[in-house]
Structure 1
Amino acid sequence: MPTLPALRLLLAGLLLVGLAGCDAFGGGDPSLADVLTAVTVGTTEADLVSDDVPTDGSGTAPALDGGGQIVRGGSAIFSLTPNGADRIYVGVEGEDGRYEAPITGAGATTLVITTNGEDTATSYVLLVATEADGTVSAVVRRTLTVNAEANASGQIQVSLNWNAPVDLDLHLETPEEEDIYYGNDVGSTGGELDLDSNAGCGLDRVDNENIAWPEGTTPSSGTYVVRVDYWSACSVTTPVPFVVTVNVRGSVRTFQGVFQPGDADRGGAFDGREIHTFTF
């Protein structure tokens, strides 16, 4: 039978092991989780870990095309050329932790970040680094400004983000058989298109659209249909990736797609590619 001192040592050791297990994220998720709720590389969801993005690497940096503005509670899509890297690290300056994921394939892919709708920051400095055969790249910094016009909503919020001088349009069909879009920007129950970008190729380069029910309004129960229409390619002759973020009562999903120049149709009510159907 162990002596009393031996029991004390054993219990102390078990306590330390337990604390170490609980402290993998410092007693909880790193602060990055309060800013970015998800990161996707191609079709791979990145893992949140407690380590920070390395900022002292000297390898070849990835090419990252995108940035500018983002909707609170929405997502931003970037074109990523990894330059031979097999792993990626994503974080936000001033926040603990990082998202990391493997990179499969040698060509360009997409990077999508999704923000927390309850976060009050007005801008973020995104940190992106990659690793190739154990060598970490130089870090890439991109500043994202949170658009002040778009409302976040815990009831229904649908947002659209892209990165090209083209006119994409967000549509949301409601149970009342209304289409909330640029031609009918406020629905009968208060749902509102509060951000419309690059309208008619008047290029403001906000590159985001947003539909939400502001505080004091209530969406009706029933089925909703999300569509995105490629109204005009303007002068762009290359494919345009986009991401749609759908938040229904705090449950968030993202959907990626790509438009080709020939898809542009100057669509009106109820036009566009169907992205998602949900029930409220």
Structure 2
Amino acid sequence: MSLRARAPLALVVSSLAACGDGIVTRGLEEPLAVHDAQFIEGPLPGSPPDQALVPPRPTAATTELTFLRPRLADVPFFGWTTLDAVSVAAQIEGLGRGYWVVPTGAPDPTVQGEPVRQWRFVADLHDSLPPGRHRLLVAATDAAGTTGSQVASTLCINRRVPDNGNVCDPKKAPPELVISLIWDRPVDLDLLVVTPNSEIVASRSPSKGLAADQKVNRNALDKNAPGVGFLDADSNESCRIDGRQIENVVFADRPDPGSYLVYVNLHDACGQPSTRYGVSRHTRSAGAEPGTFSVVETDRTHGTLVALEANGSTRLGTFVAELVVP
């Protein structure tokens, strides 16, 4: 006999449809925070996805984005359910205190085979979502409050520090060295690294050791010449707030030996009184299994800058660390 769970999901469908553009604030500290949705504490209803299929059920769940990371906003998720479903519930397996509920949409005549209706939601990925492989679990509920089988979709949550996909595939070699700056307020803060030969890697000079074509390949690090270092992005440039608040100087291969001087400069406070920051070093290491790699974080330094220290990049800024490459 198949077991089907009964849950109060159907009771919230009418209120969801009437909630308009307002965002429900409960659960916003969850690893997955869904816009315009009902948050319910407790385990996700329905039978696990590896058991026999029981309606009502989702038939698919996916996202339109190929690169996911903590602190990423407005991530679109979508999928389909059997026609008898009036709502879907979603959570990331094993994380958080509950799940999110949204109503299903209209039947989708473009899908061949079993008749289905589409569902869709937009979510934010919170800082608390640990990098690595996770499963998004989705369950469907009918008008009587009956929930059938769950469906699972694998998600790769990348590190905020570039790692060449290593967190989800340990056989991929991460960069040899990454110097990373993170901060907590929407300000234009810049990372500057002075190399042993006095070159500066920063927003105004974002690379060193370029190949003959003078281009940096940020997507295929192995295509760069040995020793190339580059800034991955200029976050919150000129107070165009992007929400990332992280900058990384990346060396895919072992950089030249010597001392690397790290500075943090407040280009523009963007109306904020201050910001706290952290600088850290991330190096490639051998993994636990043969042929695998890991990332080791060391040399973490913290500090605070106030608005009066903003200087429009007229100077290097605050010296925070000397990192030695043997």
TM-score category, normalised to shorter length: 0.3 to 0.5
With the length of structure 1 as denominator, give the TM-score of the two structures. 0.46
TM-score by length of 2: 0.40
